[in-house]
A and B are shown apart, each in its own frame.
Chain A
């Protein structure tokens, strides 16, 4: 099963708040879990990624939490800013192929 389920579909957060996006997968062969950020009219850009042997990875205000036993991972954006308003996609790589989630449209309001 190559599907990656992402929620919520949309999210509104106040400036300074924490944005949390969740993803779940079925295929235990996935070995790399990137998150992509996409602004309108642009292609997705790699934001942060994690391997399944690590439970958490932090880069600046962005943190991935990974729960291997539950087959879930999430993106946390601390101190969310209006400039973070974009669509976020989780993804999972397996068998040389990357499968994307359906996306979360984040709006950070002042």
Chain B
């Protein structure tokens, strides 16, 4: 089975610019997660979708971050405007309804904000 796909793999932008990341989860996985992983730290959940509805976005900085999963399959995460502290790896993960604790991660998008 194909894994979680993410693009781009790397992105360099200047502060105050906008950026978007894309994620395609494993086929049939209803739950999709976006995490932010700062160097040397564990992944921090930004937003969790079940199908196309938001389950948890309590740690999403909503003044600059937005995410959508319109058709309940792939998802985009946007940052506008970016700040220096947004430099991190953005990980997408998915899980099935039957095994919610088992998340499958994509390779991540490494963002550098200059």
Residues of A within 8 A of B (CB): 6, 32, 34, 36, 41-46, 49, 89, 93, 96-103
Contact = CB atoms under 8 A, between A and B. Distances in A.
Contacts of A41: 107
22 contacts: A6-B42, A32-B101, A41-B107, A42-B107, A43-B4, A43-B105, A43-B108, A44-B91, A44-B105, A46-B103, A49-B101, A49-B102, A89-B43, A96-B48, A96-B100, A98-B45, A98-B101, A99-B45, A100-B44, A101-B42, A102-B41, A103-B41
Interface residues of B, number: 21
Nearest to A34: B101
Contacts of A99: 45
B105 A97 contact: no
- Residues of A contacting B: mostly: strand
